[in-house]
Amino acid sequence: MNSTFKPALLLMGGRMVAFATTFFIPVVLVRVFDQTEFGTYKQMFLVYATLLGILQLGMAESLYYFIPLTGDKAGRYTANTLIVLAVAGSVGLALITWNAPLVAGWIGNNALAAYLPGVGLYVLLSVIAIVLEIVMTSRQRFFTTAATYAISEMVRAAAFIFPALLTGRLEWLLIGVIAYAAVRLVVTVIYVFREFGGYVVPDAGALREQLVYALPFAASTLLADWGSQFHQYAVSHYFDAATFAIYAVGCLNVPLVELVHSPVGNVMMVRMAEYVKDGRNDAVLSIWNDTTRKLALVFFPMLGMSIVCAREVIVLLFTSNYLASVPIFIIWSFTMLLPVFQTDAVLRVYAETRFLLYAYAFKLVATVALFYAFMRLFDVWFAAVITVAVAFMTKILCVARFKRLAKIPLPDLLPWKSLASNAAITTAAVAAVLLVKPYLYAPTLVILIATGALFATAYIGLALASGVISAEEWRALGGALQRIPWRTAKVGAPVKS
C-alpha cells in the first residue's frame, strides 16, 4: 500500500459509516411517499444538486490546490472562499425563489414550486459549509475528516428520515434538512477560525489568484454537472413524476463509489502537487498508475456484482413496484468504471482547468445532441445509454490530455496488463454466476446474498490465481485495516507518508 492509500483508507472509513446511514434515505422514503411524491422528492434534490454544483464557482475545490502550497496564506484563501460562497448562495436563493413557478413548469411538475424556496435556503447553507472537509483534508487532518464525514452524514440521514416518518410530508423533510445545514454551517465557521486563527481575513491579491484558477474550473464543473444531470431533467420533462421516479431509481448512485474514489482523488491531488511543481513527471506517473490499478480492483468487481445482483437490489431496496428500473440500473452501473481514471484530479494538479472546461462543453453538447436525435425513438432506458456513452468519450479525451502534458508514451500511460486481466476475470465471474443463478429458488434476500457470495468467491479466486491481486497486497490490505484504530488514536494528527 503506497502513501496515497494509507490516508485514503482513513477517509474511506469515515465515508463507510456515512454510507451505512445515508444509503437508506431513499429506501425509507420510497416506503413513506407514493410514487408521485417520491418523484417530486427526487426532483427537489435534483435541483439542489444542480445549484450546489453551480454556486461553488470552483472556489471550494480550489482550496485543494492553494492550501497545501501557501503556508500562512491558507487562511486568506479560505476566507475568500467563504465570502464568495455566501454571496453566490444568496444570489441562488433569490433566483430560485423568484423563478420557482418557471422552474417547476420546465421540469414538468407544478407541485414542485412550493418547495423550491426551501431548497434554495438549504443550498445557501450547504454551499458555505462545503469547505469543512476540504480544509481538513488539505491540512492533512485525515482522521478528523473521516470522523466529520461519519458524524455529519449520520445527522443528515436523521434530518431526512425522522421528519418524513413522523409527518409523512415533504415540507417537514425540507425543514429538517435546513436545520441540519444551519448547524453544520456553524461548525464550519468555528473550525476554520480555530484552524487558521487571525489569518482568516479576505485578501484581494489571493482572490485574484483563486479566480484565475477557479473560474475555468467552475465553468467546467457547471458544464460537467449539466452534462451529467441533463438526462434526468430531460426524462422529467418528457415523462410524468411517477415515470421519473422509476428512472431515478434505476440511476442509483451506489454510495460505495463516492466512498472510495473521492478520498483517493483528494489525497492523490495533495501528494502530486509538490511533484508537479518540481517537474517530477516520473513520480506523478507512478502515483497515477498505482492509483488506477488499485481503483480498478475495487470498481471492476463492483460493476460485476451490480450486474448479477441488479434485480434483487432494486426489489429489496425499492419494492417490486420498481422492477422496470432493473435494466436502467444495469446500464447505469457501467458508470462505476469512470472513477478508475482520476482525470479531473490529475488535470487540476496541472492547473488544466481550461481544458476541463472544453472537455465538459463537449460532454454537454454531445449529450444534448444525442438526446434530440434519438430520445423520441426509444424508451426511457435509452437516456441512460446516451449519458453513459458520452461520459466515457469525455474520459478518453481527458486521459489523452494527461498523456500529452506529462509526455508519457502510450505503453506507460496505464497499467494495461492489470486492467485487461481484471476485466477478463470480472467477465468470467459474471458469466459463471449468471449460469448458476436461474437455478436458485429462494426469497429475494437469500438470492441476493447467495449471488453476491458466488460472485465474490469466483472473482477473488480468479484474481489471486491470475496475480491481479498479489498475496502480499491481500495481506497488506488486511493489516492496514486492522491497524487503523491504533494509527488514528491522536485525533487530527497528520498521517505521514
What's the predicted TM-score (pTM) here? 0.66
CA 65/CA 60 separation, integer angstroms = 10
The C-alpha angle with vertex 236 and arms to 231 and 239, in degrees rounded to 5, equals 115
- Give the cell for residue 249: 431509481
Query: Using an 8 Å Cβ cutoff, are 349 and 273 in contact?
Result: yes
Maximum Cα interatomic distance, the chain, rounded to a whole number of Å: 68
- Give the cell for residue 477: 490490505
CA 242/CA 37 separation, integer angstroms = 8
pLDDT of residue 1: 39
CA 240/CA 322 separation, integer angstroms = 15
Q: 197: exposed, middle or buried (C-beta count within 10 Å: 0-12, 13-18, 19+)?
A: exposed
CA 254/CA 304 separation, integer angstroms = 13
pLDDT of residue 123: 93
pLDDT of residue 455: 93
CA 396/CA 14 separation, integer angstroms = 31
- Give the cell for residue 49: 444538486
Q: How far is CA 494 from CA 141, 142, 340, 342, 479, in A?
A: 5, 7, 26, 24, 20
Residues of the chain below pLDDT 70: 1-21, 69-71, 142, 220-221, 255-256, 258-261, 263, 274, 277-279, 376-377, 470-497
C-alpha 303 chain-centroid distance: 16
- Of 229, 202, 251, 187, residue with least CA distance to 52: 229
**Phi then psi dihedrals of residue 27, to 5 deg:** -65, -40
Place of cell 450486474: 307
Kind and range of the H or E run holding 251: none
